[in-house]
Chains A and B, each alone.
Chain A
Amino acid sequence: MYLETVSGETGRILELPAPPSRAALAATDLLDGVRKSWLWTTLAQQDVKLRYRGSILGPFWQTLTTAVMIGGMGFIYAKLFHTDLRDYLPMLTVGLIFWMFVAGMITEGCGTFVGVQGIIQQVRLPFSLHVYRLVYRNLLTLAHNFVIVPIVLAIFPHPINWMRLFELVPGLILIAITGIWVSTLLGMISARFRDVPPIVASVVQVVFFMTPIMWPVEALGPNAWWAQLNPLFAAVDVLRGPLLGQPTAKYSWTILATITVFGCAAAFAFFARFRSRIAFWV
């Protein structure tokens, strides 16, 4: 279906094809973002480098901070929960590092578009590019933090089923996808309603204390099952299980997969509808 108009000034006949649907435009945006992977990977690497420019330890400052936090908390809370340090410290280390990854993406996700307001208002780029940059940056930070895990697991060894380590691959992929849909959705909402980021930050903080990261699930006794319904617990559990040689909780994969599917659908619908307004909102 073509729209034909004649230009009044130049007399040119313009034939414009029917405009693509919003969903098609959104899908194109997502694909164009993937195609520009060289751009967002380079920018993400630069983001990480810039955070530590001029320091000696560089990105491993984050690793050191995390290690100090784990060391401090580990000794005290192991005593508080009456658990052996040998069991508690690995659980805390692995859980905390993955929690920082997942929760980090959620909190930072609010600033996906607002944070690059300058770019959005000057250059035409696919919006998904900023989302992928954020997720990749968090993956890089995770990689830096992860250095602690082999060290702790070497000091406090647990029997590990090495075959189970392959579970980390689908786990990380699913959580990266979680990061993508959450950043898109929260990023857009935060661009429109500027009080959302602090609310999200507070909620995430509260949820941290309600999630079995610092405290073992068993401490809840017979009521442990409702803590396992927590989707953020599911996310951490799926990654944590293989590394600690512990079975993943029964419904973690199901919960994670379900939330990913519905989350992606919701985020895509929102993105398709309001993508063109992001430049006005930021």
Chain B
Amino acid sequence: MKKALLATSTHGNLGRDALDRINIRALSDVSIDIVNGDRVGLVGLNGAGKTTLLKVLAGVYEPTEGRLAASGSVSSLLDTQVGLNADATGHENIILRGMYMGIHPSEMRERAPEVAAFTELGHYLDMPVRTYSAGMMIRLAFAISTCIPPDILIMDEWLTAGDAQFLEKAQRRIEDFVRGSSILVLASHSTELVERWCNRGILLHHGRIMSVGPVKEVIAAYRRLIDPSAQDAAPQMAAVG
């Protein structure tokens, strides 16, 4: 009985197996094809499986069923902190984080001035990174992770904590990449950001794809999911405007 209740309330994604271990099915039946130049926005409620899907795309999780075929270099910005040493300075961390991206220190040292300039952190780069605010960390992490244009760029929700000026700068850089036929996959709760940056959307719900297609349609579906009773905002604005 308890098993049946657990299964129904979590849409069959959470269950206990014979050895009484809890299993979580974070994603099911996700089949997508992303091509050059695509900027895909991943939307969904908390726990829908967005970060899990990003991790699968980044190669961190190997699918337990099915296959992932990715052609090109992958740069994943899932977490600002990874590879950063809190006691080291901004400059030292540029080299360090570059190493985790597979860039040899000697090569990274050549790119360091350009990265430093992009962060606009000035003399703060001489301070240990643990003194940075969240926004400063994001500037640093983004600048390092995008210093070499990747073929596939995967980003999680933290980008929205950046200030407006930084977001504009980041958008321009990403647009440059994508024009050079790179792929972007971005997960975000900010529908405005997704609409501005992406051309395609995927709506995840309880680990399944609920909607996939042009970004405007998917965002509309997402809004309907959040608030089924609300009318579409767009027609109202058109009437006013």
A interface, CB within 8 angstroms of B: 3, 7-10, 12, 14, 16, 19, 36, 38-39, 42-43, 46, 50, 53, 118-125, 276, 279-280
A118 and B82: CB pair below 8 A? Answer: yes
Interchain CA distance A46-B100 in the complex, whole Å = 14
Bound Cα distance from A46 to B31, whole angstroms: 42
Q: Which residue of A lies closest to B96 (CB)?
A: A46
One of A16, A36, A42, A124 near B74 (C-beta < 8 A): A124
Identify the 9 closest CB pairs spanning chains A and B, nearest first: A124-B59, A7-B33, A276-B62, A122-B82, A10-B33, A122-B79, A122-B78, A279-B61, A16-B69
Interface pair A12/B35, CB less than 8 Å apart? yes
Instruction: Give Cα distance in the complex from A149 to B9, angstroms.
Output: 66
Q: Are A39 and B99 in contact (CB under 8 A)?
A: yes
Q: Can you show 28 pairs from A to B with CB atoms below 8 A apart?
A: A3-B67, A8-B33, A9-B32, A16-B67, A19-B67, A36-B102, A38-B104, A39-B99, A39-B102, A42-B99, A42-B105, A43-B99, A46-B96, A50-B85, A119-B82, A119-B83, A122-B58, A122-B78, A122-B79, A123-B58, A123-B83, A123-B100, A123-B101, A124-B58, A276-B62, A279-B55, A279-B60, A280-B61
> Chain B contact residues: over half helix, strand or loop, or mixed?
loop
- Give the residue name and chain of the A residue nearest to B106 (CB): A38
- The total of chain B residues at the interface (CB under 8 A) is 30
Question: Is B87's CB within 8 Å of the partner chain A?
Answer: yes
* Partner pick for A123 among B31, B35, B60, B85, CB 8 A cutoff: B60
**Given the interface contacts A9-B32, A14-B33, A16-B69, does A120 sit within 8 Å of B60 by beta carbon?**
yes
The CA of A12 and the CA of B36, in the complex, are separated in Å by 12
Asked whether, in the complex, the Cβ of A123 is within 8 Å of the Cβ of B82, the reply is: yes
Name the A residues within 8 Å of B60 (CB-CB): 120-124, 279
Nearest to A276 among chain B residues (CB) is B62
